[in-house]
Amino acid sequence: MRAIIWNHMQQLRRQPFAVLGMIVLTIVFSVALGQVSRSSQVEVPVYSAELSLEEITETIERLNKESDVHFILEEKEIIDSKLSQNAIEMALQVEKDFYKIFTNANSPNVSFVEAHVNNVLKSEAVLNRTAAQLNQSVEDLRQNVASSSELYSFTTKSFKEDDFLYDSSLQALFGFSLFFVIFTVSFTVSTILYQKRDGMWNRLILSPLSKVQLYLGNLIFSFLLGYIQLFLIFTLFRFVLGVNLYGGFPLILIAIIPYLFALVSLGVLISAIVSNPRQLDAVIPIISVSMAMIGGAYWPLEIVQSEILLKLSLFIPMTYGMEMLKGATILDWSLSQFFLPASILFCMGVLFMGVGLNLMERKAT
């Protein structure tokens, strides 16, 4: 088995361009799309029919605090005109007991703005109710909470557990990392198909190596190569480019293991189904792009409205890979929350591996 891995390493040393190309493409797409999403600040006009000028101004100041979204006060007539002309993406109406978001397009910014507005207004509502019960002013209570931060756990996560959290840089980084590693793993696993076509597999069977060792050598190398690719990418973005991983860098390195196992097994299944390398070269890009689109690599699944696509995403390994990476970072999952997606990925891997190896052996017979 070590001889198989060593042989693959020597081939990689002589021809590293394919793997380097996947790494470079991941970096280029992640940096380009992540920065484009961050470069243009979202501007949301705000108006109110009930609140006084002082109240709405104070609310806007709260909304603008610690946010990438810029809220500005405008007249209702101007906002209606801009919305009718598609000059703005969305607008916000804030009243005493409710708020409304008017939008012309369904984009990730809408969900992000809604989550932020909901968080801020919920916090203010809690403070107002608490101040009324304690017979204190809201400002006095806010100052008490701020000065007693160790006693009162008012954090962003306290109000966002059920909301859609979105980070454009992480979406691009995770999506394209998991997408391009599919090519690396699948084409490495497919070397078994090339060995069988060229007659090398029959010679290896006659060697002292067993079939289990032959398969394990190829599969372990594919897994390690995919892991090294993702490790280098995440390390580069974390320590060189300074992308905020929210303290989840160690968890990320563990979370990608079930996903890579499922990918290696899927590569075995694909190699077993196709008849020749030409079919493989055509099938892998189709499957990779389809998985990326349905599994939430290009855009978050929270903005997908089609129930059919959401049901299909439950059968895509990338869906659970993206969930686990986001859970390790912006969602701040506990360890128990990783068990379900990790178990699903391991079950998919076992199923793909079992069916794929069985088909390979039947074809050989």
The total number of structural domains in the chain stands at 2
- Specify whether 290 is located in the same domain as 224: yes
- Specify whether 208 is located in the same domain as 353: yes
Is the whole-model pTM more than 0.95? no
- Please, what sign has the CA dihedral across residues 315, 330, 44, 93? positive
- b/e code 86-106 from CB counts within 10 Å (16+ = b): eebbbbbbbeeeebeeebbee
Among 102, 124, 159, the domain-final residue is 159
Across 340-353, average pLDDT:
94
- Specify whether 233 is located in the same domain as 340: yes
Among 159, 186, 218, the domain-final residue is 159
* Helices and strands, number each (H, E), in the chain: 15, 4
- pLDDT per residue over 45-55, tens digit each? 998 988 888 88
- Specify whether 342 is located in the same domain as 259: yes
- Specify whether 68 is located in the same domain as 195: no
Q: Which residue has the higher pLDDT, 264 or 15?
A: 264
Across 70-89, average pLDDT:
86
3-state helix, strand, coil in the chain (%, to 5): 70, 5, 25
CA 159, distance to chain mean position in Å, is 22
* Angle of the 168-189 helix axis to the 249-273 helix axis, nearest 10: 40
- pLDDT per residue over 303-330, tens digit each? 888 889 899 999 999 999 999 999 998 8
- Specify whether 130 is located in the same domain as 246: no
Nearest alpha-carbon partner for 170 in 249, 240, 97, 95: 249
The pLDDT score that the predictor gives to residue 36 is 44
- Specify whether 347 is located in the same domain as 225: yes
The pLDDT score that the predictor gives to residue 34 is 60
- Specify whether 179 is located in the same domain as 241: yes
Banded pLDDT at 142 (limits 50, 70, 90): low
- Specify whether 193 is located in the same domain as 321: yes
pLDDT at 220 over 60: yes
Banded pLDDT at 294 (limits 50, 70, 90): very high
User: Residue 72 sits in a domain of what CATH number?
Assistant: 3.40.190.10
- Specify whether 87 is located in the same domain as 207: no
- Specify whether 171 is located in the same domain as 111: no
| Residue 98 lies in domain | 42-159
- Specify whether 91 is located in the same domain as 68: yes
